[in-house]
Amino acid sequence: MNAKQGQSKIQRVLTGVTTTGTPHLGNYAGAIRPAIEMSNQPDVDAFFFLADYHALIKADDAARVERSRLEIAATWLAAGLDTERVTFYRQSDIPEIPELSWVLTCSTPKGLMNRAHAYKASVDANNAAGVEPDDGVTMGLYSYPILMAADILMFNAHKVPVGADQVQHLEMARDIAQRFNYHYGNGRDFFVLPEAQVAEGVATLPGLDGRKMSKSYNNIIPLFAGDAKQLRQAIAQIKTDSKLPGEPKDPDSSNLFMIYKAFVEPSKAQAFAAELRDGLAWGDAKKMLADELEGMIAPMRERYVELMAKPERIEEILLDGAAKARKIAQPLMAEIRQAVGLRRFHAVKTADTAQEKAASSKKSSKMPRFISFKDDTGQFMFRMLSAEGEELLRSVSLPNPQVAGQEIRTLQNTSESIQFELVDGLYQLSLNDQLVAFAVDAKGLGAEAWKAKFLSELALFKQD
């Protein structure tokens, strides 16, 4: 992280969920709940996405992928994800991501991909089975780390919460970013180098048989896929020892207690542990766990059922999130295309005199510009783009294009009278104590660096 980002103190955190299954209680405790809690922190700019392109690597059942996308989206929303605070979208709704993935693929060494754990594990398994090393290995599996890097670098995430098994992929994303910055940056870093955020102290729940709760082991407790009766039936299947009612039981070796304490206050967990030591019957203990979980899950389940009955509402939320995400992805991808040489063709004219050369040079040089447009309510707005095409400023809604034009002219001609007010880490601009526009800091420069760039670009209008 550079000094400019440090000034803003806002950390962009990005999390993806592969859409290959239905969330269970272990997913909620280990990923969903901590991620939502993190997203509510004032210094976090959270990006959550459904990794449905990644799902195609693991699942070739189209109906399963389709259903999982809906269930996972509904689960996160029902669990309390605030889409006003976070950017929540489907990976497949951002066409810039696969485009960036291809650009990065073209500069990523094959040797780096050869070292990826998932690929090496497949090769080792094939060698052990006596078949061809690449038997069953798709290019999706092989190139998975590059697509993951594109997910992260597209939005210049500072932190990426991952399990220990995904740390290597973050290291690869850093390596891919560094290579691109060095080769194409020309002194500029297009990509932030992301850092892995390995969760510590996050609950890893045991399943019904004591192993990690996983669909692979068929030992899960459903989260919303069922009703209260099915939840209690699942809890009744949790394996316990053979100690009878009245016999002391060891909470520390009890899978049931491990699940209980993941969802209650420490004092309540301590009281439960004491009851087990005093001989609480396993049947009563399971009933207490079921009561606790049902009290927590019931309101969320009700919301989940409502959402699943209205998939069009989920679609609307995800498309709104995609539109929000693409405001960042589109300008960055435009700069990436420019950097690698995928540029528009322009006519070249030969100037015969020194004066014509100077005029031609001035005319062809890039300048910042203001663009007016009509918003969804029928009112007018304007945005200011830098010389590189980066959006720096967006106005409030204005009643007509004449007012928008007047505000633009005032900004261009009287920059010394602009009033800057810092709100939530970004500047708001006023003229004569009237709010006019908001800063847009897509690159995470930080408030003061953004202000310096804005004033520098604005000064170009007076020189023109």
Whole-angstrom distance, CA of residue 196 vs CA of residue 318: 26
* Residues of each annotated binding site for L-tryptophan: 151
* Residues of each annotated binding site: 18-20, 26-27, 151, 163-165, 205, 212-216
Phi-psi region of 341 (alpha: psi -120 to 50; beta: other; left: phi over 0): left
Whole-angstrom distance, CA of residue 12 vs CA of residue 158: 5
Both tokens of 447, joined, read 């408030």
Whole-angstrom distance, CA of residue 263 vs CA of residue 203: 9
**Locate tokens 């929303």: which residue?**
77
* Residues of each annotated binding site for ATP: 18-20, 26-27, 163-165, 205, 212-216
420: closest CA among 442, 406, 436? 436
- Identify the helix (H) or strand (E) that includes residue 426: strand 426-431
Both tokens of 401, joined, read 């294009």
Quote the strand ranges of 39-190, DSSP E: 44-51, 87-90, 159-162
Helices and strands in the chain, H and E counts? 18, 11
Q: In 10 A of CB 330, how many CB atoms? A: 15
- Identify the helix (H) or strand (E) that includes residue 404: helix 401-413
Q: Which residues contact 167 (CB under 8 A, 6 or more apart)?
A: 196, 198
Q: What is the 3-state secondary structure (H, E, C) of 87-107?
A: EEEEHHHCCHHHHHHHHHHCC
Length of the chain: 464
